[in-house]
Amino acid sequence: MSFRLKVSSLIAVVLVAVLLSLGGCSRDAAVTEPTGDDSTAHLYAVYPEFGDLDDMVHEADAIITVEFISARTDVIYPESSDDDDPVTNPQAGVDPTEIDMTDLGVPVTISTVKVTSSLKGELSAGDLLEVSQVGGLMDGVQYVEDQTLLLGDIVNADSLMLFVNIHDDGSADLVSASSGVLVEDGSELREACTSDDRCGEQMATTVQEVEQAVEETENSE
């Protein structure tokens, strides 16, 4: 199965790879190359931002509570395109002969999760889903996207609530790295943190508020 991220999520990461291969730079995308004994490099990606819970609920194809099962690393590549719009084609305007697509690989971590309940979408309890996130190990270097909290690194979380995009091939990704995952703690939902105390920017809410937002969204469609 091939994996992809929504265009709005991945465009800046792909742009980083293009600019590095051509020796350019951009204030909208950045990456730090590892130096010396440092085996970590940082990626920067542009993700959607949501003003409130209703916007995020509307954007998500599925809203599910899950248990984390396992994770693996893969590499994704931008698709070749003749589109001249740089928003949908980061390689627009660049001479194809100057682009080595093999250099444009972006590492992703693909987490397998088990659905425990579904608030929106076609998934059901017991289903397994693979969720891709930017970042992971590639060629001996650990690539970190600074807004992304990998699902397997989230601590004190027996249950997670995910707001995800579902693609035609069955793969999924979060609607936003910084707000697409919450920790379920009884009826409360809180922001996720990793073992190094790094937390996201998620909005705190309750399961009931999410259910109400889903109902309002469905009634308005």
Mean pLDDT of the chain: 78
* Alpha carbon distance 22, 11 (integer Å): 16
> Within its chain, how far is the Cα of 177 from the centroid?
5
Please report the pLDDT score of residue 40 as a whole number.
Answer: 86
Contact 53, 203 (CB under 8 A): yes
* Alpha carbon distance 174, 81 (integer Å): 24
Write out the H or E segment, with its range, that includes residue 25: none
Quickly count: other Cβ atoms within 10 Å of residue 161's Cβ: 23
Please report the pLDDT score of residue 202 as a whole number.
Answer: 64
Please report the pLDDT score of residue 146 as a whole number.
Answer: 83
Write out residues in the chain with pLDDT < 70, as ranges: 1-38, 78-104, 201-203
Beta bridge pairs of residue 81: none
Q: Kindly write down the DSSP assignment for every residue of 34-58, as one continuous string.
A: P-TT--EEEE-------SSHHHHHH
Beta bridge pairs of residue 205: 189
Please report the pLDDT score of residue 16 as a whole number.
Answer: 43
Contact 114, 128 (CB under 8 A): yes
DSSP classification of residue 91 = T
Distance set, CA 51 to CA 27, 60, 175 (Å): 24, 14, 13
For residue range 125-169, what is the model confidence (pLDDT) as tens digits?
999 999 999 998 888 888 888 889 999 999 888 899 999 999 988
* Alpha carbon distance 90, 17 (integer Å): 10
In 33-171, which ranges are E strands? Answer: 40-43, 62-76, 106-120, 128-134, 136-138, 141-145, 160-166
Quickly count: other Cβ atoms within 10 Å of residue 150's Cβ: 21
* Alpha carbon distance 31, 15 (integer Å): 10
Residues 6+ apart with CB under 8 A from 179: 49, 50, 56, 163, 200, 201, 202, 203
